[in-house]
Amino acid sequence: MATSAALALLAAVPPTSRAAGPETPQETRTLWGHKAVSLGDSFISGEAGRWRGNTNMRETSDTDMFGTDMAAEGCKKDGTGCKKHPEKVYVDNSYVNPTNQENNGCHRSKWAEIQTADLDLRHRVNLACSGAKTENLLRNGKRFKGQELQIKSLEKEAKGGHVRLIVLSISGNDLDFEPILTDCAWSYLEWVKPYCKKSWDEKVKEKLAAEVPANVANVIDDIQEVMKKEHKPGEYRLVVQSYPSPLPPAKEYKYKEKYSRYYKGGCPFYDEDTTWARTALVQGISSMLRKVAHEKEVDFLDLKDAFAGHEVCSDHTTQAGEGNTSRNPLSDRDAEWVRFLSKGVLWTQGQREESFHPNYYGQQALGVCLTRFYHEIKKQDGPREGACVSPGPQSRVQDMELRGIDS
């Protein structure tokens, strides 16, 4: 596969931020009448979008947590006197209130990549739901968190207007991604347990070999079946995307393989389990999804290295601290783009489900990735594939590079 030079920089700005200017009636129809739709799980729904970097402290009800808590509003200059409104970050009734369990818990962030990407498609529809599996997307699947099957919702969107882009992130929960990370964390915290890879390696390999790719293929088939009823061939693009690694290479941990990885960094993982998670799990999922996308002749966007140099506990990053506020936040150049362990014995912030997902900065970076890829694939017909990569330490979200575009 040929490697191309990095594409020209395109800032990922919300659609409402596009500069105003004269438009012809046709341009107006293009701007307002076409849709981009996201389907799948927490990595595209926007889980963890509440947090702008990480800070090592117990959550407070009236501060902006050194500028990391995007739910804080009405704060003073010093970051105090705030009111918290997580429901304004996780929109469309998708925030789970921990006191009364109201709403559905899909955690559809206002910062999710489908919302921040600059796609020249005015309508953005986020149907993804945190925790979803392939069975929650299929026409004969199972409802999840009280939501309509995502494929049914897509069918309504297709009937109600021009869907020009569908972005799909799915399979992580079919592979038990969250239970794996939980088990790996407990292996580290208890110290007497063996490496988690010993319990999971064969299970992951077996699922990646047949069961999960078949499930993903069935989802793609159902999407295409729904779309062909309302759209002609070539009128829309279907992008299957993989997952960014939340953990750095073992040699790039900021903290040594001691307890400080947990109570300082919020990343309780052994070096050996980390290496396994990056290769067998993240790389394995990426390879599987790429193969399915190729077989189904749809576009594929590889994100496994999208957070390089900005993973949780990377030695190239720092946490927010004194001097940082919502008015003076830690820069994306220095921050971790992944949410650390949000719920622990020493401190608690937010909700456990947010752990090890793209945070506010991570979601902006993925929005830039989608922007780059979309503007490349719409240039010509036929499925395309590419990899979106962070250039490395000290990079900004707008510096994301699209590499390896090929047909």
Q: What is the pLDDT of residues 74-95, one digit of tens each?
A: 999 999 999 999 999 999 989 9
Nearest to 303 by CA among 376, 389, 383: 389
Residue 251: Cβ within 10 Å count: 9
The whole-number average pLDDT for the span 234-254 is 96
For range 155-170, the mean pLDDT: 94
pLDDT digits (tens, 9 = 90+) for 18-47: 333 333 333 333 444 699 999 999 999 999
Mean pLDDT of all residues in 125-150: 94
Q: Is there a contact between 63 and 75 (Cβ–Cβ < 8 Å)? A: yes
> How does residue 9 score in pLDDT terms, banded at 50, 70 and 90?
very low
Task: Transcribe 252-297 into DSSP letters.
Answer: GBSS-SSTHHHHTTS----HHHHHHIIIIIIIHHHHHHHHHHHHHT
H or E segment and range at residue 360:
helix 360-377
For residue 63, give the 3-state DSSP assignment: strand
**Which position has the token pair 């962030």?**
109
Q: What is the DSSP string of 85-96?
A: -GGGTBTTTT--
Identify any residues that bridge with 35 across adjacent strands, giving them in sequence order: 123, 163
Cβ pair 264, 256 in contact under 8 A: no
DSSP H or E stretch at residue 37: strand 34-40
Place of tokens 């599987």: 288
Long-range contacts of 75-79 (CB under 8 A, 24+ apart): 75/325, 75/326, 75/327, 77/325, 77/327, 78/325, 79/324, 79/325, 79/326, 79/327
Q: Is 150 helix (H, G, I), strand (E, B) or coil?
A: helix
Domain 29-406 CATH superfamily = SGNH hydrolase (3.40.50.1110)
